[in-house]
Amino acid sequence: MQRIINRKRNNMLRMVIGISCLFALLSTMQVHAQDDDPKGEIFIDAKPGNKNAVFTDGSSITWKLKVKSTYKVKQEGKLSYDLLTDDWKKVWSGSTNVRLGKNSSSTYSVRIPKQGAGIYRVHFNFNLSYYDDTVRRVVAVDPEKITTELHKPEDFAEFWSKSKDQLAKINPDYKISEVQSKNPDVRVYKVEMRSWNNVKIRGWLTVPTQGRNWPVIYKLPGYNIPMRPETDKPDFAVFSIDVRGNGMSRDVVAPESDRYNITNIENKDLYIYHGVYMDCLRGLDFIMSHGNLSLNTNRVAVLGGSQGATLAIVVAALDKRVTACTFELPLYADMHDAYTIGTAFPKTTWPVNRFQDYVKLHRGFSSARFLSLWDYYDPQNFISLVSCPVLMGVGLLDEYCPPRCSFGMYNKIASNVQKEYRVAPDKAHEMNFDYFMFQLLWLKESLRAPN
C-alpha cells in the first residue's frame, strides 16, 4: 500500500515539474516573440512639390516624404510608388530602397515624369522590416485643360424654359414672420412660399439690424441638410432655403434620405430634382421681391456645397439676376464620367452606388436610360449659361464628386466670364479653413460689401 502511495506522489511531482517547465518555456518564447516583433510607430508626412498638388506647364510631379520611426531597431525595405488615372488604371511606377535607423528620420524625394492634363492617383507603398502601409494622394495636372464630353439633350433649353413659364404662373403666396433672434445684431425671419406643383417650401432670412440695402447671400442646401438661420455674417443678409423634402419643407414631399435622389427617377417631368430646381428659382423670386426688408436686390450671390453647389449653378444659369456664384464640391457634375469613376473604385462610391442599385432592381431601366434622363439635370449642361463671376472649390481626395468632373464642368464656363478655383489637396468631401476665408473675401469683393 505504501509503495502505491509513493508511486502516486512521484507521478504528481513529475506532473508539477512538467507544468512548471512548460510555463517557463512559454514565457521564454513570449520574450523572444516580443524581441522579434518590436513596438513602435512610423509617421509619414507626404508633401507635394507644389503646395496645392496642382502641376502645370509640363512640369514633373514631385513629392517629398518625411519618414519618422520610433522603433528601437533598424528597418530596411522598399518604398514603391504608383501613378494611376482617377479611374484606377496604372500609368507609371518606380521604387527606391529605404533604410531607417533606431528612432530616426529620413526624407525621400519622388519625381514622376510629366503627364497630360488630368487627375491622377499617387500611391506610396512602404514595405519595411516591421511596417507595411500605403499613403494615397491625388494630383491635378493642368486642370484648366481637362476636357470632358458634353451630353446635352436637344430639347434641354426648351424643357427648362417651359418649366420656368409654369413656375411663373404659380402664386408664391409669401408669408413672412419674424422670430426671436439669439443675436441682437441680426433680425431673423421665417419665410414660407408656394412653388412647383403648388408645394409649400420654407426658408430662413437673416438681416443685420443696423443699416440698410444689404447685399444678399442666397444659400442652397446640401443633400438632406436642414437649413438654419445664418447669424454670423455681419456684412450680408442671408436667405437659406429648404427645398422640397428638406428640413422644414417636408409637408408633401418627404422621401427617406436614402431614396431622395431616386424619387420618380424614371420620369424626367416627375423627378424630384425638377421640383427642387424650381424651388431654388422661387427662392430667388422671394429675394428679388422683398427689397423692403433692407435687401439689395442688385447684389445677390448664390452659394452652396455638394448638392448645394449644383443648385447654385442651376440658379445662376437660369436667372440672370444673380450677381455672383460660388460653390464647392459640385455633386452630380458630369454624371457620365462620374459613373465610370465611381464604379472603378474597389467599392462603388456614393451617389453612383445609389443609382446603380436602383438600376439593378428595376428591369427595363438601364444605366443608359438613367444617364439620358440625368442629362436634363447635370450641372455641366447648365454651366455655360452662367454669366456672372464664379468661384469653385475642389477637394482633390473627393470620392463623391470626382475632381475630373468638377474641372471638366468648370472648363465649360464661357471664356468671357470671370472665374477662379481653389484646391484643398488633402481634403475629400470638404474644404479647408483657408478656402472659406478666401470665399468670404471673394463675396465681399463681388458684392462690394459692406455697403
- What pLDDT, on a 0 to 100 scale, did the predictor assign at position 58? 86
Q: Identify the bridge partners of residue 327 per DSSP, sorted by sequence position.
A: 304, 392
Tell me, yes or no, whether 333 and 223 share the same domain. yes
Tell me, yes or no, whether 245 and 279 share the same domain. yes
Distance, in Å, from the CA atom of 48 to the CA atom of 429, rounded to the nearest integer, reads: 20
Element (H, E) at 133: strand 132-141
Domain-embedded: residue 132: yes
Of 103, 119, 145, which residue is a domain's last? 145
Tell me, yes or no, whether 209 and 261 share the same domain. yes
Range of the domain at 389: 156-446
Tell me, yes or no, whether 108 and 207 share the same domain. no
- In the chain, which stretches have pLDDT less than 70? 1-37, 450-451
Of 145, 172, 203, which residue is a domain's last? 145
Tell me, yes or no, whether 185 and 122 share the same domain. no
Query: Is the peptide bond between 402 and the residue preceding it cis, with omega within 30 degrees of 0?
Result: no
Place of cell 427595363: 364
Which residues 6+ apart lie within 8 Å of 276 measured at CB? 243, 244, 245, 311
Place of cell 496642382: 54
What burial class does residue 92 get, using C-beta atoms within 10 Å of its C-beta: 0-12 exposed, 13-18 middle, 19+ buried?
middle
Please report, for the chain, how many H helices and E strands are present, in that order.
9, 17
Question: Would you say 47 and 125 are in contact if contact means Cβ atoms under 8 Å apart?
Answer: no
- What pLDDT, on a 0 to 100 scale, did the predictor assign at position 38? 83
C-alpha cell at 262: 431616386
C-alpha cell at 96: 527606391
∠ Cα 141 144 146 (to 5°): 70
Tell me, yes or no, whether 302 and 192 share the same domain. yes
Tell me, yes or no, whether 240 and 306 share the same domain. yes
Distance, in Å, from the CA atom of 242 to the CA atom of 226, rounded to the nearest integer, reads: 7
- What pLDDT, on a 0 to 100 scale, did the predictor assign at position 323? 98
428: number of CA atoms within 13 Å, CB side? 5
What total of structural domains would you count in the chain? 2
CATH number at residue 129: 2.60.40.10
- What pLDDT, on a 0 to 100 scale, did the predictor assign at position 310? 99
Residue 47: closest CA among 141, 146, 124, 144: 124
- What pLDDT, on a 0 to 100 scale, did the predictor assign at position 14? 58
